[in-house]
């Protein structure tokens, strides 16, 4: 990634940068972003996009468990890691911000064992040895404080496993559901003080109406009266019609302590002047579309 950023000739990366520059968010979460120990790629991207502040922690993706998690008789493969990954840091997360990030106050729930999460439902095929090491988070669950001029925004950031690529035990479907439900436990104050002035943000990999996964989990989550959903009915991913099709999988859900002034998904119509940013097939920046929300704090809140 660092090489491609330096060379500047990767078409998909250039398209993603162009979309980000067009929307120009003050705070941005990137998922499926490879992590390196010194954050060299993230530093370079932050400089190119003019973000003075950035944060990334080591994700669970690619962190090996020393166990044969997928039961195929081989060790050390991508599916034997805490989260699917060909190498440690493969497909992590990153935050870019125009406002200071209070990195010293970041809360990282990524090391929580799946079995220890309240009301967790483990697959029937999971052995005790696996349950003793298997973390819930595929990539991570972070609470990242952003210090704005008026207040602090707490990002509840995550990227859940796709609820597919498993068998009848529904391992990934169950994990996907519990990764989402962890935020409910956090909002309930079951893991320390409940976060204030938060925004749940990330790729839940779960549509409330369509596709695979335990859809009712997303229906219940979106009905939480502590959250606002400014993107009802909007898709966020453009997969092939012969596959999943168009789904809503990425979310930006502000707490009700914020006033939402505008929101959208960058998915211009073919005749829109900005459609050129996504190329002729609409996929120049990949299948996922940028989801955005504008919020403010009103006097007295």
Domain with residue 16: its CATH number is: 3.60.10
- Tell me the C-alpha distance between 285 and 253, whole Å: 23
In a domain, 189, yes or no: yes
pLDDT at 299: 55
pLDDT over 90 (residue 66): yes
When pLDDT is averaged across residues 118-145 and rounded to a whole number, the result is: 96
In a domain, 31, yes or no: no
When pLDDT is averaged across residues 246-262 and rounded to a whole number, the result is: 97
What pLDDT band is residue 142 in, cutting at 50, 70 and 90? Answer: very high
- Angle among Cα 271, 19, 60 to the nearest 5 degrees reads 135
- Angle among Cα 7, 11, 16 to the nearest 5 degrees reads 100
**Both tokens of residue 235?**
């898709």
In a domain, 87, yes or no: no
In a domain, 46, yes or no: no
pLDDT over 80 (residue 204): yes
pLDDT per residue as tens digits for the range 263-293: 999 999 999 999 999 999 999 999 999 999 9
Residue 268 is part of which domain span? 2-23+98-296
pLDDT at 152: 94
Residue 152 belongs to what H/E stretch? strand 152-159
In a domain, 51, yes or no: no
- Tell me the C-alpha distance between 137 and 159, whole Å: 8
What pLDDT band is residue 301 in, cutting at 50, 70 and 90? Answer: low
pLDDT at 298: 74
Above pLDDT 70, what percent of the chain? Answer: 99
pLDDT over 70 (residue 73): yes
Q: Which residue matches tokens 């943000």?
A: 201
In a domain, 89, yes or no: no
pLDDT at 288: 97
Q: Contact 276/237 with Cβ under 8 angstroms? A: no
Helix (H, G, I), strand (E, B) or coil at 200: strand
When pLDDT is averaged across residues 49-70 and rounded to a whole number, the result is: 96
In a domain, 62, yes or no: no
Q: Contact 204/173 with Cβ under 8 angstroms? A: no
- The structural domain count of the chain equals 1
What pLDDT band is residue 71 in, cutting at 50, 70 and 90? Answer: confident
- Tell me the C-alpha distance between 182 and 36, whole Å: 26
Number of other residues whose CB lies within 10 A of the CB of residue 111: 12
In a domain, 57, yes or no: no
Q: Of the candidates 133, 132, 137, which has an alpha carbon nearest to the alpha carbon of residue 108?
A: 137
């Amino acid at each position: 990634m660092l090489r491609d950023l330096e060379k500047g000739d990767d078409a998909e990366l250039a398209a993603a940068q162009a979309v980000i520059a067009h929307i120009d968010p003050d705070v941005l979460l990137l998922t499926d972003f490879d992590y390196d120990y010194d954050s060299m790629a993230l530093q370079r991207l932050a400089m190119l996009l003019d973000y003075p502040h950035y944060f990334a922690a080591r994700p669970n993706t690619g962190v090996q468990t020393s166990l044969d998690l997928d039961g195929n008789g081989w060790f050390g493969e991508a599916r034997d890691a805490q989260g699917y990954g060909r190498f440690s840091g493969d497909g992590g997360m990153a935050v870019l911000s125009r406002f200071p990030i209070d990195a010293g106050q970041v809360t990282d729930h990524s090391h929580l064992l799946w079995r220890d999460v309240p009301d967790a439902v483990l697959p029937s095929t999971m052995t005790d040895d696996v349950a003793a090491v298997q973390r819930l988070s595929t990539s991570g669950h972070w609470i990242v404080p952003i210090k704005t001029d008026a207040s602090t925004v707490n990002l509840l950031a995550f990227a859940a496993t796709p609820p597919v690529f498993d068998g009848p035990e529904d391992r990934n479907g169950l994990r996907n559901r519990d990764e989402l439900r962890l935020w409910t436990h956090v909002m309930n104050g079951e893991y320390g003080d409940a976060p204030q002035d938060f925004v749940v943000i990330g790729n839940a990999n779960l549509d409330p109406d369509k596709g695979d996964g335990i859809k009712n989990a997303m229906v219940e989550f979106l009905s939480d009266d502590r959250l606002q959903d400014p993107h009802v009915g909007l898709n966020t991913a453009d997969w092939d019609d012969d596959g999943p099709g168009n789904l809503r999988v990425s979310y930006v859900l502000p707490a009700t302590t914020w006033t939402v002034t505008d929101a959208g998904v960058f998915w211009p119509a073919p005749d829109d002047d900005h459609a050129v940013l996504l190329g002729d097939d609409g996929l120049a920046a990949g299948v996922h579309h940028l989801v955005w929300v504008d919020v403010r704090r009103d006097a007295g809140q």
